[in-house]
Structure 1
Amino acid sequence: MDKLKQTMTYKGYVGSVEFSDADGVFFGKVQGVRSLISYEGETREALQADFRKAIDAYLELCQEI
């Protein structure tokens, strides 16, 4: 299997879930926003934690603007 594609959600945002066999890492990006918000992790749990951290940082930045 080269890539595994799925999605996850947090605070109304949808993020892709992909896996790279070559790198042995999960990665993804938030869908439906103009900004590029990406995240990664060596496990699904680490990926989900980084996804949530990225969303929280994005929302914090949006409040500052």
Structure 2
Amino acid sequence: MTNTMTYKGYSARIEYDDEDGIFTGRLAGISDGIGFHADTVEALREAFHEAVEDYVETCAKVGKEPQKAFSGQVMFRVDPEVHRKAALAAELSGKSLNQWAEEVLGRAAE
């Protein structure tokens, strides 16, 4: 079961709080803390959509560009030995390191 929702390019992680009997969600991938909750799945979906709309509207009112989808450029450092092994694996599979890494990260992210 996937515990995420998506709407207009935004995603949210969903959790269930059994003590309070509610679903809670939080927009993922943005630095502003945007949360929402409801006691049914349908109401949660509506609250999520409302949270996204409110976030975008609030950003427009204050003259801030809302955070959105990622650029697709990932820059990070790895141990040189991991880099060597990844480059070799990519070459042996007939792919560039970027192509290979995208496939591996895509599988890991599923």
| TM-score normalized by the length of structure 1 | 0.88
Residue 44 of structure 1 is matched in structure 2 by 41
Max radius of gyration: which structure? 2
Segments of structure 1 that go 5 or more residues without pairing to the other structure are none
Segments of structure 2 that go 5 or more residues without pairing to the other structure are 64-110
For 2:25 and 2:55, the matched residues in 1 are separated by 15
Q: Higher helix share goes to which structure?
A: 2
Identity of paired residues, percent? 39
| TM-score normalized by the length of structure 2 | 0.54
Q: Which 4+ runs in 1 deviate beyond 4 A?
A: none
Report how far residue 8 of structure 1 moved: 0.4
Instruction: Give yes or no for contact 1:5–1:18 (8 Å, CA) kept in 2.
Output: no
For 2:39 and 2:26, the matched residues in 1 are separated by 15
Say how many residue pairs are matched.
62
Q: Higher strand share goes to which structure?
A: 1
Report how far residue 5 of structure 1 moved: 6.5
Which of the pair has the greater relative contact order for Cα pairs under 8 Å at 6+ separation? 1
| Local SS of the residue matching 1:36 | coil
